[in-house]
Amino acid sequence: MPGADLAGVHTFRDSRDVDLLLALAAQKKQIVVVGGGLLGLEAAYGLAKAGAPVTLIHLMDRLMERQLDAPAAQLLKSLVARKGIKILLDANTARIHGESHVEGVELADGRRIEAEAVIFAAGIRPNVALAKEAGIPVNRGIVVDDTLQTGASDIFAIGECAEHRGICYGLVEPAYEQARVLAQHLAGDAACYAGSVVATNLKVSGVNVFSAGDFLGSDGSESIVLSDVRHGTYKKLVISEGRLTGAALVGDTNDALWYLELIRTRTPTIKMRTDMMFGRSLALSSEAA
């Protein structure tokens, strides 16, 4: 975009970038972070914690839209805002102003935000250049089948560059699962990669966040929701055909790994349905009774 080559525009990729950003924060510079995903939130939180005035701009209508539904994202926004970070949603960055150095950011709707530095943390993009040059089919990523083979015989792709059934995961755990399937296939064993149950379990800007599976809830599923905004807690469990198929948690994530196990093993949950929201111990004791 116009102004992206000005001094004071940075990316957030490695430890050297982190050192530079902390130096900016120490100078109390006004900083705009573009991107409301995981990296953008972590950058904004780290800079604000170090003392910089921070505004976070996000193109979408909610933070972490790939990991959270609207109510969970709204709670996360309020908790992050309490840490002194100004958040602008539905905000499309149009240009960066300045002569030789960043002076401000202009949004598509004409609003202008004063800034002495801009940090871009707006997601990742698969590197498909080599595959394109080799004539291998690509969409967003390098297209692979259920054995992780590309459109070219004996050439395979796994990880963040691969697109399987229309999905580029961009996460490390699916890459490990793909590697195991490919290793089996190359060893001559029957192996099929059917996709991954994507899970996020981490602390975002000091707030515990977890999501897994079909956390939005597809047609035919039902959702059980416990929301306590005052205490910063949100829990949503999605159930389909008597099994847990998705979950989204903000604040209290103590039972996150148990929910993930239930989703991945497709364990029947009918007997513990009424108590499952309140944690593993109560749900399993009810099931045993």
The tens digit of pLDDT for each residue in 254-287 reads 999 999 999 999 999 988 888 899 988 888 776 6
Task: Find the helix or strand (DSSP H, E) in which 207 lies.
Answer: strand 207-213
* Angle at alpha carbon of residue 245, lines to 262 and 193, rounded to 5°: 85
Token pair of 110 as six digits:
């004409």
CATH number of the domain that 179 lies in? 3.50.50.60
**Comparing 103-117, 186-200, 201-215, which segment has the lowest mean pLDDT?**
201-215
Q: How many domains does the chain have?
A: 3
CA Rg, the chain, in Å? 22
**pLDDT higher than 80, residue 108:** yes
Listed residues 66, 95, 120: the one ending a domain: 120
Provide the β-strand partners of residue 212. 199, 247
**217 with 244, same domain?**
yes
* pTM greater than the 0.85 cutoff: no
Residue 21 structural domain: 9-120
**115 with 133, same domain?**
no
The tens digit of pLDDT for each residue in 129-142 reads 999 999 999 999 99
Token pair of 101 as six digits:
């150095």
Average pLDDT value over all residues in the chain: 91
β-strands 85-88, 54-57 pairing: parallel
Phi first, then psi: give them for residue 158, nearest 5 degrees: -140, 165
The tens digit of pLDDT for each residue in 198-235 reads 888 888 778 999 999 999 998 889 999 999 999 999 99
Does residue 191 form part of some domain?
Answer: no
**231 with 279, same domain?**
yes
